[in-house]
Amino acid sequence: MNAFIETERLILRELKITDAKGMFEMDSDPLVHRFLGNSPVLNINQSAADIAFIQVQYKENGIGRWAVIEKHSDQFIGWSGLKLIKDINNNHSNYYDIGYRLNRKFWGKGYATESAKAAIDYGFKELNLVQIIGIADVENKDSIHVLEKLGLQKINVFDYKGRDHHWFKIDNYRK
């Protein structure tokens, strides 16, 4: 898999080990991790290991989160995309999850929505997925807003790692 998607302002591509510095800058920020269990990474080696883990997902599952690059600056700003979730969450397993995480200095620019929309389109058009799931901490108003803007519908609230989360879904509009 060598996904390369271009949007108006962004490039989405496979994560590379050279993205570790940008990943570390993003994932060492406690505010980025506020709704993620608040466990920021402590060193760049953790970020490199995260990238290696995602690269394995590309090989094993044919999909994984992608690097998000801002076109005009050619800067790594975060990751976005689909991930095959094999674990059981909310009584579901083997589903495709839409996710995004951006460096805080790029929040509020619409990049999460723009990148996630491209990933959903890819999932429905290229992978012929039937459905895509999204989850968001019930207190994460910004992420909830992004998922709703993308057309995902709230289905229920469930316990995810000790915190209440919304379960969202969107069905393939092409089927």
Residue 36 pairs in a beta bridge with: none
- 3-class SS shares of the chain: helix, strand, coil, % to 5: 30, 35, 35
Q: Pick the more confident residue, 153 or 37.
A: 153
Question: pLDDT tens-digit profile of 66-91?
Answer: 999 999 999 999 999 999 999 999 99
**Helix, coil or strand: residue 19:** helix
What band does 39 get if pLDDT is binned at 50, 70 and 90?
Answer: confident
Round to whole Å and give the CA distance between 90 and 51: 26
Round to whole Å and give the CA distance between 14 and 10: 13
What band does 3 get if pLDDT is binned at 50, 70 and 90?
Answer: low
pLDDT score recorded for residue 17: 97
pLDDT score recorded for residue 171: 97
Look at residue 13 and tell me whether its pLDDT is greater than 90: yes
Determine the residue type at 81.
G
Q: Structural domains in the chain?
A: 4-171 (3.40.630.30)
Average predicted confidence (pLDDT) for the chain: 95
Question: pLDDT tens-digit profile of 149-166?
Answer: 999 999 999 999 899 999
